[in-house]
Amino acid sequence: MMNGGERRLLLFLFYIQPKSEKLYLNKALNFK
């Protein structure tokens, strides 16, 4: 499981990514 710091980092990366990258990240996170 992710800790708070990792979750914040992922959220930060999620928000700075372009739309297509966001969709890819979302799928990757849902896969876990």
pTM of the entire predicted model: 0.35
Task: Provide the residue range defining the domain that includes 21.
Answer: 1-32
Total tally of structural domains belonging to the chain: 1
d(CA 32, CA 29): 6
**Dist. CA 22–CA 26, nearest whole Å:** 6
Specify the pLDDT at position 9.
Answer: 84
What is the CA angle 22-17-1, rounded to 5? 60
Q: Give the pair of three-digit tokens for residue 23.
A: 């969709």
DSSP letter at 20 equals H
Angle 2-28-12 from CA coordinates, rounded to 5°: 60
Q: Residues 1-32: pLDDT tens digits? A: 557 788 888 888 777 766 667 777 778 777 75
